[in-house]
Amino acid sequence: MFSYVIVGTNDLEKSLPFYDTFLKELGSQRLKETPRGAFYGSGKGPMLAVMKPFDGNNATIGNGSMIALNVANPEEINRLHALALTLGAVDEGAPGVRLGTFYCAYFRDLDGNKFNLFCMA
């Protein structure tokens, strides 16, 4: 159903290296670049784009918006959450079990966009 999702950034020079490093660990890479940002993916399935807003205004976070990334297992979630924090992300919820079998962790990227790393444990 989804082709791509866009998160806004105000600083491509900081954001793109963050996503280059982080998304590589999920098997994704830059697939397409534009003057406003880049699209990441594996070449199969949906992509994540990191872009400056088209209207020229500042990128802002969506209250209640979040992107969930499916991860293979709890150990990978722990590792990726720690990596995101090392790269400058902010912790929004330490790794752990929620809702019985939902293992996840939350972080905000350099622009404040919220992400969830999850698997069904």
Burial of 100 (0-12, 13-18, 19+ CB in 10 A): exposed
Give me the amino acid identity at 110.
L
**Phi and psi at residue 67, to the nearest 5°:** -115, 125
8 Å CB contact between 47 and 88: no
**Domain range list for the chain:** 4-54+65-120
- Return the number of other C-beta atoms located less than 10 Å from residue 43's C-beta: 9
The pLDDT of residue 121:
81
Average pLDDT over residues 62-82: 96
| Residues sharing a CB contact under 8 Å with residue 17, sequence separation 6 or more, in sequence order | none
Query: What does the pLDDT look like over 37-56, one tens digit per residue?
Result: 999 999 999 999 999 999 99
Q: Please give the radius of gyration of the chain, using alpha carbons only, rounded to the nearest integer.
A: 14
CATH class for the domain made up of 4-54+65-120: alpha beta
Whole-number pLDDT of residue 2: 83
Q: Is 28:48 a contact under the CB 8 Å cutoff?
A: yes
Q: Using CA atoms, how far apart are residues 58 and 11, in angstroms rounded to an integer?
A: 10
Report the pLDDT averaged over residues 28-36.
97
